[in-house]
Amino acid sequence: MIPFTLTGLAAIPSAALVVPLLWLLSRATLAEFVVGDTARHARLLASSLEVTGFALAAALVVGVPAGAMLGAARFSGRRPLALLALGFMAVPPHLHAIGWSSLVAPGGVLLALRPVLYSAQGAGVVLGLALSPVVMLLLARGCQDVDRHQLEAALLARGPRGAFRAVVIPALMPWTVAAGAVIVALAAGNYGVAEHFRVHVQAVEVMARFSASGDAPAAAAAALPVTLISALIGGGALAWVVTRRPGVPGRSPDLTGWFDGPRGTVLVSVLLFLAGGVPILALLLRIESLGTLVEAGSILWPDALASSRVAVGAGLVAALAGLIMALAWHWGRPSILGGLYGGAALVGFTIPEAVLAVSQVSFLAEVDGSLTFYGKSLGLALALGLRYAPLAWAISTVSCASVGKDEEEAARVSGCGERRFLAGIVWPRIRLSVLASGFVAAAFSLGNLDVALLMTPPGISPLGVRLFNMVHYGFDSLLAAAILLVLGGTVGLAALGGWLARREAS
């Protein structure tokens, strides 16, 4: 009975993700997909791909070595640095962008580099650096899949190079591909960083068109090419990863002997400085006195409280939806429906955020004529929770896959029905991942721009939106202090969450 119930429950978030998109597609006429100004749309697509490509390259160049060292090298400060990476991951990319741009704003220390930063390449690199902690943390987890005994056997037989080729690369490859897919999906649909650096990409076009005309099908159709590319690359890679069986995390072997000790500490610190330290330092340079921080805090406090409430709600929605979909994917009946829900989650994750937000908002306006949810905390929390439910699903489903078939069989033979198996064996194993998925969703929701911009009426500004808009009036000490407080709060909360999760795990 429980497998069928799970499948039934999982239909709710899956439908909530896919139905608005299908509705939007059904409303669009063929003419809207045939774009008039082909050259202009080609330029938009090229910009989107350029930003995505540079973001992917920057995220991998910084994230892979830092992640491998965080996962497998032995150096002092490794755990605090890993927690800092977790904190940086939670900071919304457009706040990174604001930090970087303060360096090249009038009065900034790198003013001469302004044209470099305000370009597709510059925006891509900043976006990639902001997203690189995702790569670091996935790679660090991947290192735990490298089997110590297999590694030692390969070292004896073929030496370090052979061992690296035969054991390390196969273990890390799914995690690298997953990280790349996540970066492609996030970067291709990113609105905040591109808009901040005045790079016109397709996500910006969607938001601009929808804001100007309210014509959702036409707005979404403008982003069709990048949507397809993101869905094909991101979705294909993620589907490949989640259908593979990850190993049960073990103790990471020491893969990077040369980087043990102070060398490792220095190198990881430098990479983390690029990934999140630069914007913080840049904003610090702008602050005139400590009093400014206190003043900024008192101004932001009410907004921060309201936004935190929404973020916590979104985290809960995402974690619950992700958990139910992951359980249905692994243990639901009929299993074909579990697979379909997984597909829905992948679609939801890889579709550009702006397109998903437009579809949700316009669908909600259609079915909810009295605007019960529009502009309300609950409506925003539900929309953001659904936005990040696929991410939560990915985290929970990888964790569910670590419960071996033989462990399930041992439970069944020992007299456990489905309910006891899920409650006694699966839940203790995945609860930290579910907690983490909720936390990640909450952290992303806190700084979300696209959904927040479209789901709130004029006059109400969630924290991320308010800071983003304030930058248009130029940099001053108060703004820098306000953004720094949000950055510090997010990093601190994320690090605290990671520390608590680690404490419980140990």
Partner 1 sequence: MNPLALEVERVGIRRDGRSVLFDASLRLSKGEFLGLLGATGAGKTTLLRLIAGLEQVDSGEIRIEGVTASTPGYCLRPEKRRVGMVFQGLALWPQMTVRQHLSFVLTGVSGVESDACDRWISLMGLEGREDARPERLSGGEQQRLSIARALCPSPRLLLLDEPFKSLDEPMADRLGPEVRAICREQGVAVLFVSHDRRRALDLCDRLAFLHDGCVVFDGPELRPDSREVHDAVKAFFEGVVFHAGKRAEG
Binders of partner 1 among 184-213, rule CB under 8 A?
none
CA separation for the pair 375, 208 (Å, rounded):
20
417 binds partner 1 (CB under 8 A): yes
Give me the DSSP letters along 336-397.
HHHHHHHHHHHHHHHS-HHHHHHHHHHHHHHH-TT-SSTTSHHHHHHHHHHHHHHHHHHHHH
**Which of 159/417 has CB closer to partner 1?**
417
The stretch among 112-120, 142-150, 402-410, 442-450 that binds partner 1 (CB under 8 A) is 402-410
3-state SS string for 69-138: HHHHCCCCCHHHHHHHHHHHHHCCHHHHHHHHHHHHCCCCCCHHHHHHHCCHHHHHHHHHHHHHHHHHHH
HSE on the CB side for 158, CA within 13 Å? 12
CA separation for the pair 193, 180 (Å, rounded):
19
**Which of 189/246 has CB closer to partner 1?**
246
- Amino acid letter, residue 58: A
Residue 410: CB minimum distance to partner 1, A: 4
Q: How many CB atoms lie within 10 A of CB 254?
A: 14
| Of the residues 28, 278, 299, 425, which one makes contact with partner 1 according to CB under 8 A | 425
| Of the residues 370, 413, 473, 503, which one makes contact with partner 1 according to CB under 8 A | 413
CA separation for the pair 325, 488 (Å, rounded):
33
Annotate each residue in 225-264 with x if it binds partner 1 (CB under 8 A) or - if it does not, as one string: -----------------------x----------------
Residue 116: CB minimum distance to partner 1, A: 50
- Is the C-alpha dihedral spanning 163, 168, 171, 174 positive or negative? negative
- Kindly state the tokens that stand for 343: 């597909």
Annotate each residue in 426-445 with x if it binds partner 1 (CB under 8 A) or - if it does not, as one string: --xx----------------
3-state SS string for 270-300: HHHHHHHHHHHHHHHHHCCCHHHHHHHHHHH
Helix (H) / strand (E) containing 145: none
414 binds partner 1 (CB under 8 A): yes
Using CB under 8 A as the binding criterion, the count of chain residues that bind partner 1 stands at: 18
19 binds partner 1 (CB under 8 A): no
**Which of 209/330 has CB closer to partner 1?**
330
**Which of 145/353 has CB closer to partner 1?**
145
Residue in 492, 389, 473, 444 with CA at minimum distance from that of residue 95: 444
| Of the residues 112, 302, 370, 406, which one makes contact with partner 1 according to CB under 8 A | 406
504 binds partner 1 (CB under 8 A): no
**Which of 165/419 has CB closer to partner 1?**
419
Annotate each residue in 355-394 with x if it binds partner 1 (CB under 8 A) or - if it does not, as one string: ----------------------------------------
**Which of 246/464 has CB closer to partner 1?**
246
The stretch among 143-151, 199-207, 350-358, 401-409 that binds partner 1 (CB under 8 A) is 401-409
Contacts to partner 1 by CB under 8 A: 248, 404, 406-407, 409-417, 420, 424-425, 428-429
